[in-house]
Chain A
Amino acid sequence: MIPGSFAYHRPTSVKEAIGLLANLGEEARPLAGGHSLIPMMKLRLATPEHLVDLAGIPDLKGIRPDGDAIVIGAMTTQHEIVGSDLLTEKIPILREASLLVADPQVRYIGTLGGNVANGDPGNDMPAVMMCLGANYQVVGNSGERSIPARDFYLGVYLTALEPGEILANIRIPVPAAGHGFAYEKLKRKIGDYATAAAAVVLTMSGGTVAACSIGLTNVADTPLWAEEAAKILIGSTLDAATVKNAVAAAEAITSPASDGRGPAHYRTKMAGVMLARALASAKARAR
């Protein structure tokens, strides 16, 4: 399979990249790791006339602490997330989720920025970012702005990113020390998108849930932040009855498609099962 023709641009600064995207207009697309875009181009589902490769921009790389947050450059690869001691210590759910993205080769090249900005509801990182309350720092010709992950996803491949804007970095508030976490993903095989997956970050205090946040992957046109389900759990001991209520609240906001991964009602139920497992795992890990 050979993609359609395009012109290749390799800017060396963010400024140059957004200038190129502004000048080239709608037929230009930024290229990150390319592991979503290139397969789509090979199938001619995407036929951009220009690709603006962001790989040569040092400012878009790296993982650094910034006050009570960690900032991850959009071009940071999944492999680099898995290997980051800082993230493994401070926000370990990222490593857990990264290891469930595709396969080793894809993780060497696939980027966090591409995963979250592409708008594919099958991608794993968007729900994790919603769960963590991350902010996306985006840059365009008209300046910089910060968009909460929880407001970013509008539909299938539809995000709050305006034409000509690129995602520069992702700012993630570090969860409280001793928090519990889990990303539970049901998939048919390595490399598959989730049938359903759930991200949980929670804090326990004296045996009860002090704070809780939940994200769901691939069970609607967008990743979901299950705000109501989390609220139900706060103040509880994660007893069976309360977990059941929270699972029901989470299932209620899903609207998955029926596809090769199963009929819609099955995928909704699996979202609930993944959530229950993630809650149990997060509770066990919380200190």
Chain B
Amino acid sequence: MAKSQVLMTVNGKPAEGLVEPRTLLIHFLREQLNLTGPHIGCDTSHCGACTVDLDGKSVKSCTMFAVQANGADIRTIEGMAAADGTLHVLQEAFREMHGLQCGFCTPGMIMRAYRLLEENKNPSEEEIRFGISGNLCRCTGYQNIVRAIQYAAAKMNGVPFQEAAE
């Protein structure tokens, strides 16, 4: 099948490549752009490990063809830390609050949390849990993931992080 040229902005830089129409976005990111932060977990659009930010939306990149993303502005976990290595506040939050155990779901969790906080600066615990309901953590470390997102929200809002009473 004839290949098509795709051109997109990935982590602020132009990225182009030749893809078959059937090439999934996750494969283009991982295999052609060498961005292996987005993970392939379930490969059936359930687990959210492949989540990237695309034109202001959280997207499961295993369920989109690269040709559909032609022209899009994409951000992956690799685009979160500053050029000097300073962690994004969400990355810092996941480290500080132990928001990961094996780490496999983390890139997807952080990219989803990023969009969630862009849309809702001060989400309740319930809104966080509903907002990340398309991301599975098979270590079941949800408590600390939710806490990490609360920590990041507080830090982004410039207020001290307060643990909810147990």
Contacts and interface: CB of A to CB of B under 8 A. Distances in A.
Given A5-B20, A8-B67, A104 B58 contact: yes
A51 interface: yes
B1 A106 contact: no
B58 A108 contact: yes
A125 B20 CA distance: 33
Interface in B8-26: 20-22, 24
Interface string B32-50: 0000000000011110100
Contact of A4 (B22, B57, B131): B22
A190 B47 CA distance: 11
Contacts of A38: 45, 63-65
A105 B134 contact: yes
A55 B68 contact: yes
Contacts of B133: 103-104, 190-191
A244 interface: no
Contact of B22 (A3, A53, A105, A190): A3
Interface in A21-68: 31, 34-35, 38-39, 41-42, 51, 53, 55
Contacts of B48: 103, 105
A5 B45 contact: no
B133 to A, nearest CB: 4
A6 B20 CA distance: 9
A102 interface: yes
Interface residues of B, number: 30
A7 interface: yes
B157 interface: no
Interface residues of A, number: 29
A241 interface: no
Given A104-B131, A105-B59, A191-B46, A6 B64 contact: no
A150 interface: no
A79 B57 CA distance: 9
A2 interface: yes
A240 interface: no
A105 B58 contact: yes
B134 A109 contact: no
Nearest to A31: B68
Contact of A191 (B65, B67, B134): B134
B21 A7 contact: yes
B147 interface: no
Interface of A: 1-8, 10, 31, 34-35, 38-39, 41-42, 51, 53, 55, 79, 102-106, 108-109, 190-191
8 contacts: A4-B22, A5-B1, A5-B21, A34-B63, A34-B64, A35-B63, A42-B44, A104-B112
When A and B form their complex, which 5 residue pairs have the shortest distance between CB atoms, in order from nearest? A103-B134, A8-B21, A108-B57, A5-B1, A190-B133
